[in-house]
Amino acid sequence: MHSQQPQELKLGPVTFRNRSSFAERIRCALRAEKANALARGGLGRERKFWLDSISYYKAFKWFAEVLVPVSDEKTSAKMARRAVTSALDCLHLLLGASHSDEMEVGGPRITRDRRGTLTFSNEGLGASISIAGRGQVGYRDGWADALEREDVTQLLGLFDVAMEATIEPGAGRPLSRRFLDAAHWFGEAVREQNSPAAKIVKFVTALERMVMTDEREDIANTISTRIAALCAGVGEHQKWVDDVREVYDLRSKLVHGSMSPTDPRVRQGVWKCARIAEQTLSMALHWFRPEGLRFEDFSNKRLAKNFEVLVAHRDEWERKMAEREA
């Protein structure tokens, strides 16, 4: 994004730094490396590697630094990339799908995406050129003030706890991993650029990973009632049930071949899927709470029982509200 606020944003083991923060972070390390190289007899080929790497980094405005456990280089790099991707998945949830769909990790050093089109018609040959910048350009200075809101700081705190599992491969933490897996599918859906149908499949897969616990029958009803129990406000319960069933049915028709991915209903359903997934993942994270996210042992059977209690409490509350209105 063009805005360089905030200076840093920390999510678990990942610290996102703006350009000036990154420059300060790397400057001291570069000086030390240059001094060490000179002490060994000169910079040699190392100078070119540094210059080429820095030239690549200059194409970007934000950088991710990851603290990983001591390991071999290949494993550390894999762990770091997984952690950064998980942090970006969390940012998609925090900022919203429609406000973060141009964010990605790494990629080619392209400062401007310049593309051409040639067309042949009865009038002759036509040509056009489009130029686009990379990144989420719509953020203006001051946007980061929203990060200080109480609801946002609570969500960031929950992200921190869940993200601890990204660099602890031996840890159990099944609820943290469940959330991170669901957030992975959510992030894949947000970053999907070419197919609205693929977006829907990934959004709904995120919902399944978040609330399913090995059920094999009446899946649509299980998903819709659990999500409604998590997310619905006063007077919204039935609408949530209906909306979830609608998007689940849409996904089922796509993956089972009874609907074309070019059907107009697909594009219309994408952002309803995104809204439901955003709310479900965020509310489930609050429901798990930090202590739940740190449990080393939490079976699917136990989670299913908790969902049953949640749905029953919601149904009882709905019944009492209906009686009061009557």
pLDDT 10s digits, 38-55: 777 766 667 788 888 888
How far apart CA 173 and CA 162 sit, in angstroms, is: 9
Question: At 282, is the pLDDT very low, low, confident or very high (cuts 50, 70, 90)?
Answer: very high
How high is the pLDDT of residue 29?
82
Question: At 320, is the pLDDT very low, low, confident or very high (cuts 50, 70, 90)?
Answer: confident
How high is the pLDDT of residue 43?
66
Could you say which DSSP state residue 74 is in? H
How high is the pLDDT of residue 42?
67
pLDDT above 70 covers what percent of the chain? Answer: 98
H-state helical runs in the chain? 19-39, 45-57, 73-95, 150-163, 174-191, 196-211, 219-231, 237-255, 264-293, 300-325
| Across 94-108, average pLDDT | 89
Do residues 107 and 81 make contact, with C-beta atoms less than 8 angstroms apart? no
3-state secondary structure of 109: coil
What is the CB neighbour count within 10 angstroms for residue 7? 14
How high is the pLDDT of residue 318?
86
DSSP string, 276-318: HHHHHHHHHHHHHHHHHHT-S---HHHHHHHHHHHHHHHHHHH
| Across 292-321, average pLDDT | 93
For residues 134 and 297, which has the higher predicted lDDT (pLDDT)?
A: 297
Size of the chain in residues: 326
Looking at every residue in the chain, the average pLDDT score rounds to 90
Question: At 143, is the pLDDT very low, low, confident or very high (cuts 50, 70, 90)?
Answer: confident
| Domain positions in the chain | 172-326
DSSP string, 47-60: HHHHHHHHHHHTT-
For residues 302 and 133, which has the higher predicted lDDT (pLDDT)?
A: 302
